[in-house]
């Protein structure tokens, strides 16, 4: 069934003013973007086999760090992509900080680094990868395909400037925060990879989630190392099916081990083997997506919303956690201040965000979520963090 998104929540008791003109960010053809923007001949990329190969530890340790001296501008300014506001903020746990304003990760079978240049623009570099059968350099077409995959992963078809301008025009709080948090972008991850990562996130902290995700990733095909970090292609569903619950428990996954094993088994029974079925959720309504994902063990509404927003094109999915709850109760649902979070009330908060921000509510929520992180509060002027809050609450203004 094709998507039929209702972007306002019927019956909501929250009195919010929706945008008079819903945000309509300019769509960018990433294929043309990749073909015309940069000279791909400066990249070095090797072809990786789709099927993981077994490597001994001694073989891996002999591999030296890959060169990091060929950077190509991505034609994305800091206002369209801020790496520190995107990668270490809980969307993905597979990217590593490998330098000053530099992050490295894997997109499909491609090992890539991104960094901010002196002018703030983002540049990229594809690293040569370790192949199972050869070490040949990829041809021009493969380089182009790799860049298209990167642009798709970065969701460059949606322009932040258009969204932020629309939100800021009617929302005072958003207008105050946006200049300090420009470039907080929502990624478009591989659905299987995103699902497994967020199964690890249940009642967990970032450090431990990262260790679990690193363990799962290490079961895939080894690609290479950058600045001491080893990188792997995410394991296939078939490879994941070979992991036992006992193995995961021994690796420190605790009760999450049964969630992962159970979800992988359930996926294998889906039409097309699971991977295609997951991708097909991009064509459904958000409610249908949440319902489908919630059938997997360990997936509740919040985790399902994360997967929907970060991998399934459900741009108005709003994962509600304590940070998002605080934003809502401070600025447009003050009647919930001091009330205990319940699934029903979390659903009401999500609906209020959609009523307020429209079909890209999940993107607005992402910026507001980032603003609540301790690491970001340090860079936001105190008068924005505190004085505006006090003024709004004193005046009992509901934006």
Q: Under a CB-based contact definition with an 8 Å cutoff, are residues 201 and 322 in contact? A: no
Q: Under a CB-based contact definition with an 8 Å cutoff, are residues 1 and 285 in contact? A: yes
Both tokens of residue 394?
């004193």
Which residues have a catalytic role annotated?
Answer: 302
Counting Cα atoms < 13 Å in the Cβ hemisphere of 234 gives 21
State how far the Cα of 347 lies from the Cα of 116, in Å rounded to an integer.
37
Sequence-separated (6 or more) residues with CB below 8 Å from residue 375: 88
State how far the Cα of 357 lies from the Cα of 167, in Å rounded to an integer.
7
Q: Under a CB-based contact definition with an 8 Å cutoff, are residues 19 and 8 in contact? A: no
List 116's β-bridge partners, or say none.
122
Sequence-separated (6 or more) residues with CB below 8 Å from residue 49: 131, 132, 133, 221
Phi, psi of 140 (to 5 degrees): -60, -40
Sequence-separated (6 or more) residues with CB below 8 Å from residue 19: 166, 167, 169, 170, 357, 358
State how far the Cα of 261 lies from the Cα of 250, in Å rounded to an integer.
14
Phi, psi of 333 (to 5 degrees): -140, 60
Identify which of 122, 145, 120, 124 has the alpha carbon closest to the alpha carbon of residue 226. Answer: 124
Identify which of 113, 122, 123, 188 has the alpha carbon closest to the alpha carbon of residue 153. Answer: 188
- Over the range 48-69, which residues count as b (16 or more CB within 10 Å of their CB) and which as e? beeebeeeeeeeeeeeeebebe
DSSP classification of residue 278: H
Q: Under a CB-based contact definition with an 8 Å cutoff, are residues 288 and 1 in contact? A: yes
């Amino acid at each position: 069934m094709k998507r039929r998104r209702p972007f306002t929540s019927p019956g909501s008791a929250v009195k919010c003013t929706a945008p008079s003109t819903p945000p309509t960010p300019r769509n960018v053809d990433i294929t043309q973007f990749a073909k015309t923007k940069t000279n791909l001949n400066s990249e070095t990329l090797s072809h990786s086999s789709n099927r993981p190969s077994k490597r001994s530890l001694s073989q891996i340790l002999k591999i030296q760090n890959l060169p990091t001296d060929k950077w190509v501008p991505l034609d994305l300014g800091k206002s369209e992509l801020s790496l520190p506001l995107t990668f270490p903020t809980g969307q993905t746990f597979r990217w590593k900080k490998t330098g000053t304003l530099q992050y490295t990760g894997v997109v499909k079978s491609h090992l890539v680094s991104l960094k901010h240049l002196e002018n703030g623009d983002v540049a990229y570099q594809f690293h040569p990868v370790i192949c199972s059968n050869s070490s040949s350099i990829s041809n021009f077409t493969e380089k182009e395909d790799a860049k298209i995959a990167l642009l798709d992963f970065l969701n460059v078809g949606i322009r932040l400037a258009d969204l932020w301008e629309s939100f800021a025009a009617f929302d005072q709080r958003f207008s105050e925060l946006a200049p300090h948090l420009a470039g907080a972008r929502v990624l478009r991850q591989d659905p299987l990879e995103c699902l497994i990562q967020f199964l690890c996130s249940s009642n967990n902290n970032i450090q431990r989630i990262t260790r679990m995700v690193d363990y799962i990733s290490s079961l895939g095909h080894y690609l290479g190392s950058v600045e001491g970090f080893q990188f792997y292609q995410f394991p296939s569903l078939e490879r994941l099916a070979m992991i036992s619950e006992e193995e995961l428990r021994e690796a420190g996954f605790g009760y999450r081990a049964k969630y992962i094993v159970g979800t992988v088994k359930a996926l294998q029974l889906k039409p097309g083997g699971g991977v295609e079925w997951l991708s097909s959720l991009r064509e459904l309504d958000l409610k249908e997506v949440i319902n489908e994902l919630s059938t997997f063990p360990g997936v509740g509404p919040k985790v399902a919303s994360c997967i929907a927003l970060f991998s399934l094109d459900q741009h108005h999915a709003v994962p509600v956690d304590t940070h998002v709850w605080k934003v809502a109760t401070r600025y447009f649902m003050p009647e919930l201040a001091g009330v205990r979070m319940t699934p029903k009330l979390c659903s009401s908060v999500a609906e209020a965000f959609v009523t307020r921000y429209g079909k890209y509510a999940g993107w607005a929520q992402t910026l507001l979520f980032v603003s609540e992180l301790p690491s970001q509060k340090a860079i936001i002027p105190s008068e924005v963090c505190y004085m505006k809050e006090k003024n709004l609450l004193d005046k009992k203004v509901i934006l």
